[in-house]
Chain A
Amino acid sequence: NAGVMQNPRHLVRRRGQEARLRCSPMKGHSHVYWYRQLPEEGLKFMVYLQKENIIDESGMPKERFSAEFPKEGPSILRIQQVVRGDSAAYFCASSPLWGKNTEAFFGQGTRLTVV
């Protein structure tokens, strides 16, 4: 089991472009979580998705950000019209159905730099 796979590992975008970050969960996991880590900060929850459903997007910025987890394929975090403040590390985690002793497994993250 290769673990949670995120790509690309590094992404450079110019202001105004779109960024698409991909996350393939661990085999057998149907729940995905996205976190953002701004420089010098801890990871902050963005969104929780199951296959074809957004369960909790309370941490997503209201504009320009969207996430999906289709029936087939990876979860995608999409940032439209990126700005310098979007530069951060974006981490994805996956788990089976969340319960008392569930562990979320993290990917290695995508480092987005907006120039």
Chain B
Amino acid sequence: AQRVTQPEKLLSVFKGAPVELKCNYSYSGSPELFWYVQYSRQRLQLLLRHISRESIKGFTADLNKGETSFHLKKPFAQEEDSAMYYCALSGGSNYKLTFGKGTLLTVNP
């Protein structure tokens, strides 16, 4: 069975501080990992995926197969980063995403 765990329901940081949103997964094969973001009153949108190895809006995430983690990091948080963040995994049927419960990030001024 595939599972995604986001241990922090809420995360609050100050503007300019580093931020790390944790994501651990369980999957027996080679997963594809994603981070989705939902800003207030907006639709869920893809932030980044591990296979593209991009940095989007200053965020990066590295797949660590040994620790089965895909933590999302940003060195200097901005107020506009405040949003709900979901980690997701797709496995063999790669159109079928398994989501974590989400972490609500608040960046305080």
For chain A, the bracket of interface size reads: 20 to 34
- New A-B pairs, 5, CB < 8 Å, besides A44-B99, A102-B95: A35-B97, A42-B98, A56-B95, A91-B44, A106-B36
**Residues on the B chain within 8 Å of A101, using CB:** 51-52
| Size band of the interface chain B makes with A | 20 to 34
Chain B residues at the A interface, C-beta cutoff of 8 Å? 4, 6, 36, 42-46, 51-52, 86, 88, 93-102
B51 contacts A100, C-beta separation under 8 Å: yes
A69 on the B face (CB < 8 A): no
Let me know if B101 and A106 touch, CB within 8 A.
Answer: no
Q: How far is the CA of A7 from the CA of B90 in the complex (A)?
A: 27
Cα separation A51 to B109 with both chains bound (whole Å):
48
- Known A42-B4, A42-B102, A101-B51; contact A106-B97, beta-carbon cutoff 8 A: no
